[in-house]
Structure 1
Amino acid sequence: MKEKDQVEITLESNPNELRLLFNLSAQYLSCNKEQLARLKLIYTLLLGRWQNLSRHHIEVEDTKFLDGLQSLKGLRYLSLQGISRITELPKTITGLTNLLILDLRLCHNLENVTAAVTSIKSLTHLDVSECYLLDKMPQGIGSMTNLQVLKGFVVGSARSTDQCRLSELTHLKKLWKLSIRIGSEAQIGEDLNELSEIEKLRSLKIAWGHMKSSPSEYTKPKTSRTFSLGKLEKLVLECVPDDDSEEIKLSQLSLVSEDVRWNVEILRLKFLKELKLEWNYMKRELIQLRCAQIYKCPKIGSSLPGFDENGFWVDETRVPITRTNLELPSDDNA
């Protein structure tokens, strides 16, 4: 695809020979479902952006072309990352019976992940992170038993009766990476305890959304007092709301579970204004800890020994980890 004001997706005379279609730089796409349906044997379709920069904006003229996806029976990898004007996926996506990876990250207009997605039992990776208009996830995600990575799972309003609950995720026996966004009207109660039942979970990110300034309209969400995840290797907590500071603390995360210490290797604590915890205690209990970031957590400390100016700490005795080759992914990939 070449970059110009608008790029129309056109196919050669033998579209059946295509196995991969990759958007290198086009920002404005025009396509129709008949054209898309001709890609009978395509394995990889990346129409979205791959650059990790906000200036790489992509729009589609009309989203009706997505109806043509149902004909792509052999498709394994579909990326619509960062494409504007996609508000929901069509029900015809159920035709993607061999799809492994569905990347919808940064689709800022996405309002609904249709329940049809849950019928794609082959999916191993589902990414809806940074889709901030999403207010819930569809029921049935727990039946997607091949899922290994689920990013952007939304805990929505307690008023919603047709959303997926955290308890459903306990059926995902292969899930090892999970990121959760807790909405402003969510009441998570004891639900976080359910995550302890996901046996293979190794990487967990929990981010709280903007809480309403007048919470009296809703019952104040309560969080469980014990939350044990003894096999975690990476934990990211972001934006715990101040008005829950007495209930939502790292001390709720049991550092010892059945005499087995945490296996956390990477720890991020960000924007936790009320969190009170001693750094030396964390180092002592998290015996596998290789690196950490403590950012804007004033009650832990702003100038901790061994931390650099960006709030990063690395145990340089645990070779080959160093500050220059540290494999610490960005928040976008958490």
Structure 2
Amino acid sequence: MKQLELPPSIFQLESLAVLGLKACHNLETLPNDIESLKNIRWSDLSQCYLLERMPKRIEKLTNVEVLKGFVIGSSSKSSYQISDLADLKNLERLSIHIGSGAIIDENEFESLKGLSKLEHLIISWGVCGTRYTDDIRISLLSNLKKLHLDEDFPEESIPRLLKPTNLPVSLKDLNLAGGKLASMDHGKLDHSDSCKLEIIHLKYLKHLIVDPEKLQTLFPSSVYVEIKDLQNLLYHEWIKDEER
């Protein structure tokens, strides 16, 4: 099958604001001239499963507000890391896919701290092979509202970033889908006002056993909980207004 390429003429459209390439399944590479599209506000590269690296100088698109499908490949295929996003100060929504074979330094996510406008963060992982120099350390932004950890989340126990004392007050929506997570228990309960999480989705976590009542205790501000395809629950939905 012929490799899909973008026509060179697209890079003459300096006023282009939207670049939608979602689900271009034959797309393997992007030209390095992408920095000429300096007025891009919205870019969707998600579900381009053959895309293994980002084009050079993508960090020059400093006006971008929505960036979906940023790929972190193996070091042999891509020199890009999460830290290369640090200059995209206008980002409001970001999705990152960490491919199989990628090596993530323990403080790599620290570079996201400067993205003060970021409200919605999605991180997905390849099937296997992602390596970390330590456990996952993500310092969540103080204004983050939605966090989705999807597709083969590699941790078995709840990481430090998801413990209520580490969640920003602004975070309202948590979605965990797929992966090795086996416990949502974060140890000693903290009844402080630091956690305001309201919406929780737990899906396709075949190793996870959850007691819905205990989950509500762990996250006391929750108003909606959806559980689907866990080890001990096929489906469960709880809405606070319907509580009896």
Q: How far apart in 1 are the matches of 2:183 and 2:66?
A: 31
Match of 1:185 among 95, 101, 118: 101
Q: Secondary structure at the match of 1:271?
A: strand
**Structure 1 counterpart of 2:13, from 55, 74, 96:** 96
Corresponding residue to 1:111 among 11, 22, 28? 28
Which residue among 239, 249, 260 is the counterpart of 2:151? 239
Q: Whose RCO is larger (CA < 8 A, sep 6+)?
A: 2
1:262 aligns with 2:173: no
Larger strand fraction of residues = 2
Alignment partner of 2:147: what SS? strand
Partners of 2:123 and 2:172 in 1: CA distance: 17
User: Secondary structure of 1:102's partner?
Assistant: strand
SS of residue in 1 equivalent to 2:83: helix
Residues 169-180 of structure 1 correspond to what in structure 2 (within 5 A)? 169-180=85-96
Change (3 A) 1:273 1:211: closer
Q: How far off is 1:104 after superposition?
A: 0.3
In the alignment, which of 197, 201, 225 is matched to residue 114 of structure 2?
A: 197
Letter in 1 for 2:59: G
What amino acid does structure 2 have at the position aligned with 1:292? I
The percentage of counterpart residues that share the same residue type is 29
* Alignment-derived partner of residue 203 in structure 2: 295
- Decide which moves more: 131-140 or 284-293: 284-293
Mind listing any 5+ residue stretches in structure 1 that lack a counterpart? 1-83, 323-334
**Counterpart in 2 of 1:21?**
none
Q: Which structure is larger by alpha-carbon Rg, 1 or 2?
A: 1
Q: How far, CA to CA, are the matches of 1:115 and 1:188 in structure 2?
A: 24
Q: C-alpha distance in 2, partners of 1:279/1:314?
A: 21
CA distances 1:30-58 after superposition (whole Å, capped 9, x unpaired): xxxxxxxxxxxxxxxxxxxxxxxxxxxxx
User: Which residues in structure 2 correspond to 1:122-161 (within 5 Å)?
Assistant: 122-160=39-77
- Matched residue type, 1:186: A
| Offset, 1:290 | 2.4
RMSD (Å), alpha carbons:
3.2
In the alignment, the residues of structure 2 paired with residue 298 and residue 174 of structure 1 have an alpha-carbon distance, to the nearest angstrom, of 37
Contact 2:174–2:197 (8 Å) recurs in 1: yes
Matched, 1:228 2:145: no
TM-score, structure 1 normalization: 0.58
Correspondence list, 1:313-332, <5 A: 316=240
Matched, 1:278 2:185: yes
Structure 1 segments (4+ residues) deviating >6 Å: 282-286
Contact 2:21 2:46 in 1 (8 A): yes
Runs of 5+ unmatched residues, structure 2? 217-224, 229-234
One-letter amino acid of the counterpart of residue 200, structure 2: A
> In 2, Cα distance between the equivalents of 1:275 and 1:193?
26
**2 CA distance for matches of 1:292 and 1:314?**
10
Structure 2 distance, partners of 1:159, 1:241, is 23
Secondary structure of the 1:173 match is: coil
| In structure 2, distance between residues paired with 1:233 and 1:314 | 21
| Aligned residue number for residue 168 of structure 1 | 84
Q: Secondary structure at the match of 1:296?
A: strand
Aligned-partner residue type, residue 115 of structure 2: I
Provide the TM-score with structure 2 as the length reference. Answer: 0.77
